[in-house]
Structures are given as C-alpha cells and as structure tokens.
Amino acid sequence: MTGPSQSKLIAISLRETKRIALSRRRAKDRILDESIFVPDGANTAITHAFFWMFMANGVGIALAWLLLVPSSGYWMGELTYGRWIPVHLNLHLYGWTSLPLVAWLLRLYAPQDDHPSAAARASVWAWSMSLMVGAIAWLRGETSGKIFLDWIGLARVLYPTVMLFLWSVLFRQWWANRQVPGWAPVVQMVGLLILASVPMAVFWASGREVYPAVNADSGGPTGMSLLGSTLIVVLLLLLVPQLQNRATWGQKLVIPRLCWLTFLFQVGIVMTLGFHHATHHDWHQWLGLGTLASWIILMPLYYRGFLWPPKSMRWQRAMLFWFGLLVATGWLSFLPKVLDHLKFTDALVAHTHLAMAGFVTSFNLFLIGLLAPSSLADHIHRPIAFWLWNGATATYVIVMWVAGAFEGADPSFTIIRGIARELLYAIRFTAGLVLFCVSLIWWRAARSAMIQR
C-alpha cells in the first residue's frame, strides 16, 4: 500500500469514527432530553400489574409451603392446593404478564393532547375486576380444566368483554389521533385490527371442546406448537425497539434484516409442518424447534443496535440472558430421551419459573422502565432488588431442575417425601419468599409513584 493512499484511508477512518461518535452523542442527548410522558391509563396498568404480581407471588409461596407442610392446609376446608394453583398461574399470566403490555398499548395509542383518559383508567380497573371474578370462580372450583385457560361461566364472558372495552378505548384514542401526519395512524390501525381478534380467540380457546395438537409420546405440546408460541414472544421482542422509536446508532441494516428474515423463515416452518399431532421423536419437530437457537445470538445483536437509557440496560441484559437460557433449555428439554425423563417432573416447574420469573419479569421491568415515571423507574433499576430477584429466580430454577432430574429417575422422590426432597423444597420456598418480598417493594413503589401523580 502506498503512502498517500494509506494516509487517505486513515483520514477516512478518522472521519468515520468522528461521525459515529457524533451520532452516538446526539442520540444520547436525545435520550437525556426525552421527557417521559406516561398516560394516566398506562400508569394505572403498571400499578395494577405490580399488585397482581405481588398477589400471585403470595399465593405461590403459600403453595410452596403447602408442599412442605401439607397439614397446614387442613383449616382451609375446600380451598385446597388444586384450587389455588389456577389462581397463582392466571394471576401471573393475565395480571403480571399482561398488564404491562396493556400499559404499553395505552402508551402507544395515547392521545396527543396529554389529556388524562378516564376510560383508559376504567379499562384497567375492569381488567383487574375480571381477574378478581376469575380468581373467585377458580377458588369456588369453577374452571374449564385447561391450564392457563381456566375461564368458565361468567368469567369466560367477562374477560373478553373487558378486552373488547379496552379495544374500544384504544380505538377511540386512535380515532382522535388519526389525522397525525406519517405512518403511525396506519400502523396503529393494523394493530387494532389484529387486537380485535384477541377477545374472541380467548373465548374460543377457553372452550372445553378445543384442544391443541398433542405430542402422543409425552401428552404435552408438539414441537411446532412450542415454536409457534415462542415466535409470538420473538415478535414482541422485535417490535419493542421499533414501536418505542428507539434511535439506532452505528448499526448496519444487516442485523435487523437478518432477524426479520429468520423470523419469517421460522413462521414458514410452522406453516409447513403444521399444527397436527406429532411426537418429539419425530426429527422434524425437534429440529424445527431447534431453529429458535438462532435467537440466542441474534436478539442481543438486534438490541445492541438501538440506543437505550443507560439505566434500562440492567434489565435488558437480564431479559436477554433469561431469554437465551429459556430457548436453550427449552429445546434441550424437548429432545428425545431428555423429555422422556423430565416430563411430568419438577423440571417443568423449573422451566415455567425460568419463563415467568426470569424472562417475562425482566422483559416487563425493562418495558416498565421505559414507560414508567422516573420515581418508579429509579426504584425498578435499583441493584439490590435486581440482584435479589434474579438470584432468587436462578436458585429456584436450579433447585427445581435438580428435583426434576431426581424425580425423572425415581417417581417416589416426589410422591414419598424424603430428606433430599424436603431440603430442595425448603430452598425453593425460601427463594419464593425473596421473590414475594421484592414484588412487595415494587408494588409499594408503583403505588407511591401513582399517588405522587
């Protein structure tokens, strides 16, 4: 290489470095100047979400205690373990998991005039009311018998009705904003059209006559069902930076393009292999599910391309870590021999908690950190609560995996309580107690942030 061309190259390189640095600084300034507007309804939804997380965790530790000391449940009469489980599961799914997404929707469709929307607030209260009605029904022994779709009777009609009401609130806000220039109203309308199908889908799926494809060798879901449901999560993860309008820096378009192409490819796999009954011994199933492993690398790269408030990075990293672990262990657990060993054991409990306490919670807290007023966001980003939560979750998951491994080899490990089982379950209870206490702290912080407003 000649001298002048080398100096030219160095000059170009320096110029490029300066450009990137400038773009990064501008983007950072934009973040710092960005005043977070939190609509009233979204704020209410966040507070309610924390409340339900606290309640669900409370029920959770009570259940963990019942497995340690079954006799302590005698005084509860008909409110036995089996009736509390749907309360625990559904409060987590429809309360803690769903309400931050409701908050996000209310933020995305927020009226431009910053006018507090009583209807949005009311829709969140109605959501909580439907959960309460559901919880009462489950405790009364009224359930469809389908895990995570226990809605039946009044609750089965009420929950979709509340969803429709929320949809009407979003529609009203979209209508008020429809004249806003740009593509936003069109994108929002497409979103509304998709959301309109959700209430009916929930009502239909809760029906006893409807049941998804079955893995005949395990009695559980097929690989394609798992791939399909995980792709919804992937879609959500891909949409968050886009819909939050996060600034990009120094990112070549190749990563986002690769991500969307991978996503479409996997949707294609699901469509091709279909939702028919198939076993995990069928190589199509476990190989198809295995394509999810690509996200362990792609998703962090994708998120790296956007600029985020520095404080939110802690929960973002946790979210990406738990997501990667969930995908990896989920696939490993589905493999022939492994699933045969772990099915129906505590390993499933470990997987569920890895998903809910690990991934979903960190995703929600990351999202809430972006949506919530600074007083609450500061609280969420505090390192003590962060490490307590993630440490307790990791402990919980490991303990349950160990218990599951023992149980897979010897069913009597769980059915007849021995010292090893008791010890593991005691650690699990302690970890649950930590999760419960942290959720109480968060709920209190959300409440006081709400009151301050």
Partner 1 sequence: MIPSLQSISWRSTGLITATYFYFLIFAQFAFLKAIELTGEAASLKLVMGTMGFAGILGSLTSPLFLKHWEWKIVLRIGFLSCGMMAFLSLASWTSAHAWSMIAGGIGFSLGIVTVTLVSQLRNLSGNHHWGMSGGLGTGLAYFTCNVPAVFRASPFDQSLIAGIVCVAAFFGTSIKIESSSIQEMRQSSPEMHAPFVVMLLAFTLLIWLDSAAFFIIQNDRELLGSTWGSDTLLWRNGSVHLLVAVFAGWWLESRNSLSPVFLALGILAVASWLVNDALTREVGGAIYPVGVSLYSTCLVVFPAYWLGHLSLHRRTFLASLLYAVAGWLGSGMGIGMAENLHRVPLAFVMVVLGFTGVVLAHEWLRKYCRELATCTTLLALAFVGSELQGNAVLSSQASISSIHNGREVYVSEGCIHCHSRYVRPSEDDITNWGPQVSYEEALKECPPLFGNRRQGPDLLNVGLRRSRAWLKAHFINPQLLVPMSTMPRYDYLFSDDRGESLIDFLMDPQASAKARYETIQNWNLTYPSDASHEVSNAWKLFQHHCSACHGEDGMGNGEARADLARSPANLRYGPFIYSRDPKEIPRILKFGIMGTDMPGHEYIPDSDIIAISSYVKSLRHSPHSYSTP
Residues that bind partner 1 in the complex, under the rule CB under 8 A: 66-67, 70-71, 73-74, 77-78, 80-86, 118-119, 121-123, 125-126, 129-130, 133, 141-147, 153-154, 156-158, 161-162, 165, 208-211, 214, 216-220, 277, 340, 343-345, 348-349, 407, 410-412, 414-418
- Crossing angle, helix 313-334 and helix 294-304, to 10 degrees? 170
Residue 443: both structure tokens together: 């709920």
Q: To the nearest whole angstrom, how small is the minimum distance from the Cβ of residue 225 to partner 1?
A: 13
Q: How far lies 153's CA from each of 139, 148, 157, 161, 179, in Å?
A: 14, 15, 7, 13, 41
Q: To the nearest whole angstrom, how small is the minimum distance from the Cβ of residue 133 to partner 1?
A: 7
Residue 262: both structure tokens together: 């991978």
The residue (of 268 and 418) whose beta carbon lies closer to partner 1 is 418
The residue (of 166 and 307) whose beta carbon lies closer to partner 1 is 166
The residue (of 202 and 214) whose beta carbon lies closer to partner 1 is 214
The residue (of 82 and 310) whose beta carbon lies closer to partner 1 is 82
Residues 6+ apart with CB under 8 A from 285: 215, 222, 223, 224, 273, 278, 279, 334
Residues 6+ apart with CB under 8 A from 354: 322, 325, 326, 329, 393, 397
The residue (of 36 and 76) whose beta carbon lies closer to partner 1 is 76
Q: To the nearest whole angstrom, how small is the minimum distance from the Cβ of residue 93 to partner 1?
A: 15
The residue (of 313 and 348) whose beta carbon lies closer to partner 1 is 348
Closest CA to 223 of 295, 147, 287: 287
Q: Which helix (H) or strand (E) holds 400?
A: helix 383-409
Q: To the nearest whole angstrom, how small is the minimum distance from the Cβ of residue 439 to partner 1?
A: 22
Q: To the nearest whole angstrom, how small is the minimum distance from the Cβ of residue 15 to partner 1?
A: 58
Q: To the nearest whole angstrom, how small is the minimum distance from the Cβ of residue 68 to partner 1?
A: 9
Q: To the nearest whole angstrom, how small is the minimum distance from the Cβ of residue 78 to partner 1?
A: 6
Closest CA to 314 of 425, 219, 389, 410: 389
The residue (of 31 and 195) whose beta carbon lies closer to partner 1 is 195
Closest CA to 231 of 189, 262, 207, 201: 262
207-239: burial string, b at 16+ Cβ within 10 Å, e else: eeeeeebbbeebebbbbbbbbbebbebbeebbe
Q: To the nearest whole angstrom, how small is the minimum distance from the Cβ of residue 97 to partner 1?
A: 18
The residue (of 74 and 183) whose beta carbon lies closer to partner 1 is 74
- Decide: 144 and 208 in contact? Cβ < 8 Å: yes
